[in-house]
Structure 1
Amino acid sequence: MGAKPERVSDGLESLPSPWGVFTRDSVTSIDGEVRLFERFSVAGEPHLTLETGDTTVAAGLLPRLEAFLSRRALWEREATDAVVVEFSTEDPTQDELDEAAADLRAAQIVVFPDAAVTVHFNDTCGQHFLEGYWPAVHFSSLDAVTEVSVES
């Protein structure tokens, strides 16, 4: 995965990958000023983000992303189970775990320079989380769940 940064038409660097071209996130204000964020992203299902503004570091995160995605079936179920366990007052039933696995979908995967990964989920049925809130599951560099949080 020897991706090399490239220049795109607006002068910003981009990073080709098997999932599309990662580009530096930015926003343009009303007065035309462009503000750059310290991350690269590529749209898709799920949205993929490399949490760094350094293209060399971002390129180095691509193998970590590839390894994480190759285990998607495993971490996705592990993550949805962790969400249910975190927010249950009793041991969840298998049906509750299965329901969450069917209803929660990975919306964004964020890879950090320390190789940690956070997966943000959408509640596709709207029954598990209030509107405007979603669960996020944080994984260590060794793919162990380290935290479950609710974000808005």
Structure 2
Amino acid sequence: MIKMALMALRKLAEVILAAFTFGIVVAIISSAPAEPTDPAIWSFEDTFLFVFVYSPIFFLFIGIPASIFIEGIMKKINLRNCVYTHLVHFILYVSAGSLLGTMVALFFIAEGFEVYIVVWSTIAALCFYVALIGLNKIIQFSKEHDEE
């Protein structure tokens, strides 16, 4: 029971960290000049807050199940080399982000296929992967620090 609660807290931390990372990436990519001439142009802060508030919903309902599925695949593969493990993880997350973005673009967009949705979903998947790696390193560091 405690193990399930810890896993749920870890996944929730991954969602928050991924949303933060994705918010920064989107804000950097779509940043506008410091003094926008058009009131419809969002500032860095506006873009970050919008993405940071709304992206956890998608990470929670799409990212976590995809991450659990990818972790199951990684357990079955059981690679010993750290470089290969990270490479396969990277490929799986990029593939999952592209696939989910393609599905969203095809099924939920009435106007036709939109490539930018696939690009943004792939970037979101990579941000989730970066959050996963970062959280793993933080947990590993804290365990090593507790042992000393």
TM-score range, shorter chain: 0.3 to 0.5
TM-score (norm 2): 0.34
TM-score relative to the length of structure 1:
0.33
Higher strand share: 1
Whose relative contact order is higher, 1 or 2, with alpha carbons under 8 Å and at least 6 apart? 2
